[in-house]
């Protein structure tokens, strides 16, 4: 279990911009998992006070975006409004995006393809070395002189990933045609069974890894029970105050729970937050079985047998 | 459990609101008046058709392209072997159908709980409206008592006639766009020996879902009772249910939440499964 209080964190330059010596995007890193496994992630608050441009591109990992302030453009005539929660699947192209000003919660994580999510520290180290062999240019490309003496240009992230891993990056084929944008305000609250004062809005569950998105509300004075559902989860608090002996969470805080970790809080001020269930991965044996929790270093994790049964009946 | 063997069900040319040139083979219908009412069937298009204009519904839809591709927005089409979820309240269209295409259509009550109205009921209302005005290319046109001419989306006009509502209570969209899914790009997740699944998506707070189940020849999958009803459609292969009824390609089953069953593959079999909305 891990906690972060976003109010106590400092803004810093956004990692991918550091690689290109740009500075229009700043971030607060809430939580990271960097163990070299398929379940690694980077959970941040990202702020753009002016503007940011990126060309049409894709990633070998998915994103979840929760817009806190402003409107985020992600493709021509396509915007993420304030309050929206979106799933950007791995392998899906989007952009060019002209973003800003806005503030959003951004989760980038190892997706169902199993390629994982390289740590920002490793990417920065690789890009520093690559800068001696070529140059990163505005817009996200990397240029260097090839063996034939000609300038070679390619996507900067792809070039860095391949330099880091020492192998070609095989992008996963898209499972959806485009990012899935949900408007949580229009969904209905459902009471959490057996938990007075706790409510959820189920926004959706995507990919064979069953990445689940839901909004959570807990009334002031209620008791919030979170986690313990056999899946890894992240909670982000947009508003509210939660208190427990182990931690106190205010607005813009985050919590990470592993498969069978469970946390109880007293709700001191009404909570409105986002819960992201991270993808499950099949076992080496190929059996869906309950996972005992614990380290990601042991490799692939099991699917939740409960979730599977619920999905197909 | 209800069963539908496609070869025993004739194609019908439904009275068209938007579906000129479409033949419908209805596999199942739900119960009129219920929030989880639905209509599930195969639709064949004999000729190219510029279909409905840009519009939206008070109910959900899924479309799976069995043959050919289905264009649902300019430049956006459901390729053969893919499906799309059309959420209630989310605009799409104009809809364009290519010659000799076939889709598996599920129309069902959406999360707002406004249910779904069957074609028979819509047909009766459409006939009544046709006596008072005219339908053309998805638009209903009539002249009121003061001699004023009105144009209205055809489906909306018929819906208003059936429900008696002054206006359609269109739910605000929960998603900004239909969700197009490419099942071939999912990995099969093993469930048990010889059985695996692809969970394609779970949508909205009623957990309406789409998934695929693969059962290798000779293997069995046990359906356990739960809180959700499901529709099973055999995409490939053949299977026996409870060692009795045999289901071939394009046959279907409707399981109520309390139904249990054993599905045994007689050949390598792939089943498309829709989870109907859970209003419990």
Read off φ and ψ for residue B132, nearest 5 degrees.
-110, -10
B174 → closest Cβ in A183, A210, A282: A183
Exposed/middle/buried for residue A104 (C-beta within 10 Å: 0-12, 13-18, 19+): buried
Closest Cβ opposite residue A313 in set B173, B198, B275: B275
The closest CB to that of B189, out of A176, A178, A282, belongs to A282
Highest-scoring range by mean pLDDT, A10-24, A212-226, A275-289 = A212-226
pLDDT tens, B36-65?
Answer: 999 999 999 877 777 678 889 999 999 999
- Residue B183: both structure tokens together: 């099942």
Name chain B contacts of A277, Cβ cutoff 8 Å. none
Task: Count the Cβ atoms, other than its own, within 10 Å of residue A83.
Answer: 16
- Quote the mean pLDDT of chain A: 87
Residue A22's pLDDT is 64
A120 at B interface, C-beta within 8 A: no
pLDDT score, position B153: 87
> Which one has a higher pLDDT value, A83 or B163?
A83
pLDDT over 90 percentage in chain A: 71
* Residue A298 clears pLDDT 80, i.e. is over it: no
pLDDT of res. A28:
95
Highest mean pLDDT among A234-238, B48-52, B167-171: A234-238
Contacts B215 to A, Cβ<8 Å: none
Q: Does the beta carbon of B2 lie under 8 angstroms from any beta carbon of chain A? A: no
Question: What pLDDT is stored for residue B32 in this prediction?
Answer: 87
Q: Is A163 helix (H, G, I), strand (E, B) or coil?
A: helix
**A291 chain-B contacts, CB cut-off 8 A:** none
> What pLDDT is stored for residue A296 in this prediction?
24
- Show Cβ contacts of residue B277 under 8 Å, excluding neighbours closer than 6 positions: B35, B36, B60, B108, B109, B110, B111, B204, B206, B207, B208
Give the angle A297-A298-A304 at the CA atoms, nearest 5°: 110
Which residues make beta-bridge pairs with A292?
A: none
pLDDT band at B3 (very low <50, low <70, confident <90, very high): very high
Asked if residues B51 and B97 have their Cβ atoms less than 8 Å apart, the reply is yes
Look at residue B169 in the predicted model and tell me its pLDDT. Answer: 86
Please indicate whether, in this complex, the C-beta atoms of A186 and B171 are within 8 angstroms of each other: yes
Looking at residue A122, what DSSP letter applies? H
| Burial A149-185, CB ≥16 within 10 A → b, else e | eeeeeebbbbbbbeebeeeeeeebebbbbbbbbbbbe
Q: DSSP string of B157-171?
A: HHHHHHH--SS--PP
Angle at Cα B225 formed by Cα B223 and Cα B228, nearest 5°? 100
pLDDT in tens, A104-126: 999 999 999 999 999 988 988 99
CA A233 to chain centre: 11
Provide the angle, in degrees to the nearest 10, between the axes of the packed helices B154-163 and B119-130.
100
Nearest to A312 among B176, B192, B197 (CB): B197
Band the pLDDT of A290: cuts 50, 70, 90: very low
Q: What is the mean pLDDT of chain B?
A: 92
Contact B180 A177 (CB under 8 A): yes
The dihedral sign for the CA sequence B22, B26, B27, B33: positive
Which residues in chain B have Cβ-Cβ distances shorter than 8 Å to A312?
A: 197, 199, 211, 213, 230, 273, 275
**Both structure tokens of A16:** 């991918």
Q: What is the CA radius of gyration of chain A?
A: 20
Q: What percentage of chain A exceeds 70 in pLDDT?
A: 87
| Cβ partners under 8 Å of residue A134, min gap 6 | A142, A143, A144, A145
Question: Which tens digit of pLDDT belongs to each residue from B73-94?
Answer: 988 999 999 999 999 999 999 8
**In this predicted structure, what is the pLDDT of residue A295?**
24
Per-residue pLDDT at A284 = 42
pLDDT at position A19, please? 58
- d(CA A175, CA A172) in angstroms, rounded, equals 9
Which candidate, B107, B103, B66, B92, places its Cα nearest to that of B208?
A: B107
pLDDT of amino acid B14:
66
Residues on chain A touching B223 (C-beta within 8 angstroms): 313
Q: What is the mean pLDDT of residues A176-191?
A: 97
Residue B226 and residue A188: Cβ atoms within 8 Å?
A: no
Q: CA A58 from chain center: how many Å? A: 15
With tokens 């209302």, the residue in question is B125
**Structure confidence at residue A20 as a pLDDT band (50, 70, 90):** low
For residue B186, list chain A residues with Cβ-Cβ distance below 8 A: 112, 175, 207-208
Q: Which single residue is written with the structure tokens 């009275």?
A: B15
Q: What's this model's pTM, rounded to 2 decimal places?
A: 0.89
> What pLDDT is attached to residue A53?
83
| A156 membership: H or E segment, kind and range | helix A156-165
Residue pLDDT, tens place only, B110-153:
999 999 998 888 888 999 999 999 998 889 999 999 999 999 98
> pLDDT tier at B159 (50, 70, 90 boundaries)?
confident
Residue B9 burial by CB count (10 A; 0-12/13-18/19+): exposed, middle or buried? middle
* pLDDT attached to residue A92: 97
Confidence of residue A215 (pLDDT cuts 50, 70, 90): very high
> How many pairs of residues across A and B have Cβ atoms under 8 Å apart?
122
Between A156 and B255, residue with greater pLDDT: B255
> In terms of Cα–Cα distance, which of B102, B205, B89 is closest to A188?
B205
CA atoms within 13 A on the CB side of B198: 16
Q: What is the pLDDT of residue A286?
A: 39
Measured CA to CA, the distance from residue B10 to residue B8 in angstroms comes to: 7
| Residue B2 clears pLDDT 90, i.e. is over it | yes
Percent of chain B scoring above 70 in pLDDT: 96
Span A134-171, pLDDT tens digits = 998 876 789 999 889 999 998 888 999 999 999 999 99
**pLDDT average, residue stretch A183-201:** 96
Q: Which of A92, A114, A205, A313 to mutate to test the interface with B (most CBs of B within 10 A)?
A: A313
In chain B, which residues have their Cβ closer than 8 Å to the Cβ of A115? none
Element (H, E) at A16: helix A15-18
């Amino acid at each position: 279990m891990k906690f972060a209080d976003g109010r106590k964190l400092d803004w810093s330059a956004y990692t991918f911009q550091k690689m290109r010596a740009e500075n229009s995007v700043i971030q607060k890193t809430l939580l990271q998992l960097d163990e070299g496994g398929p379940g690694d992630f980077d959970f941040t608050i990202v702020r753009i006070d002016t503007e940011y441009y990126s060309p049409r591109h894709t990633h070998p990992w998915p994103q979840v975006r929760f817009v806190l302030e402003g409107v985020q453009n992600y493709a021509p005539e396509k915007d993420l409004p304030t309050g929206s929660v979106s799933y950007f699947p791995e392998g899906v192209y989007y952009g060019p995006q002209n973003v800003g000003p806005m503030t959003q919660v951004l989760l980038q994580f190892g997706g169902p393809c199993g390629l994982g999510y390289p740590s920002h520290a490793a990417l920065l180290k690789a890009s520093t070395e690559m800068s001696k062999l070529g140059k990163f240019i505005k817009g996200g490309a990397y240029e260097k002189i090839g063996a034939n003496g000609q300038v070679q240009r390619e996507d900067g992230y792809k070039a860095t990933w391949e330099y880091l891993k020492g192998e070609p990056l095989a992008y996963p084929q898209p499972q959806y045609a485009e990012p899935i944008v949900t408007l949580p305000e229009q969904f209905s609250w459902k009471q959490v069974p057996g938990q007075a004062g706790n409510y959820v809005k189920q926004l959706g569950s995507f990919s064979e890894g069953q990445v689940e998105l839901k909004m959570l509300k807990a009334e002031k004075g209620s008791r919030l029970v979170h986690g313990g559902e056999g899946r890894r989860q992240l909670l982000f608090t947009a508003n509210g105050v939660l208190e427990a002996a182990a931690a106190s969470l205010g607005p813009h805080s985050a919590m990470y729970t592993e498969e069978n970790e469970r946390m109880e809080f007293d709700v001191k001020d009404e909570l409105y937050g986002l819960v992201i269930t991270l993808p499950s991965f099949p076992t080496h044996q190929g059996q869906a079985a309950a996972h005992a929790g614990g380290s990601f270093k042991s490799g692939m994790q099991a699917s939740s047998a409960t979730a599977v049964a619920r999905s197909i009946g | 459990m209800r069963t539908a063997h496609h070869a025993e069900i004739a194609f019908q040319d439904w009275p068209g609101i938007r579906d000129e040139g479409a033949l419908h083979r209805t596999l199942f219908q739900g119960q009129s008046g219920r929030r989880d009412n639905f209509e599930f069937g195969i639709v064949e298009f004999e000729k190219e058709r510029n279909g409905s204009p840009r519009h939206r519904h008070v109910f959900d839809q899924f479309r799976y392209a069995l043959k050919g591709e289905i264009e649902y927005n300019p430049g956006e089409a459901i390729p053969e072997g893919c499906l799309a979820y059309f959420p209630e309240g989310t605009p799409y269209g104009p809809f364009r159908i290519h010659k000799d295409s076939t889709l598996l259509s599920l129309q069902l009550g959406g999360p707002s709980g406004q249910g779904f109205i069957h074609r028979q009921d819509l047909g009766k209302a459409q006939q009544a409206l046709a006596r008072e005005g005219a339908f053309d290319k998805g638009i209903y046109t009539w002249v009121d008592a003061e001699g004023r001419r009105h144009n209205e989306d055809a489906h909306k006009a018929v819906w208003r006639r059936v429900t008696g509502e002054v206006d359609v209570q269109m739910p605000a969209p929960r998603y900004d766009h239909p969700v197009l899914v490419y099942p071939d790009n999912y990995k099969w997740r093993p469930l048990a020996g010889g059985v695996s699944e692809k969970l394609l998506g779970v949508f909205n707070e009623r957990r309406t879902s789409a998934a695929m189940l693969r059962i290798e020849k000779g293997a069995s999958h046990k359906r356990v009772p739960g809180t959700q009803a499901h529709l099973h459609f055999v995409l490939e292969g053949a299977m026996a249910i409870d060692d009795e009824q045999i289901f071939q390609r394009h046959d279907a089953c409707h399981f109520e939440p309390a139904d249990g069953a054993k599905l045994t593959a007689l050949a390598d079999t792939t089943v498309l499964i829709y989870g109907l909305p859970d209003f419990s």
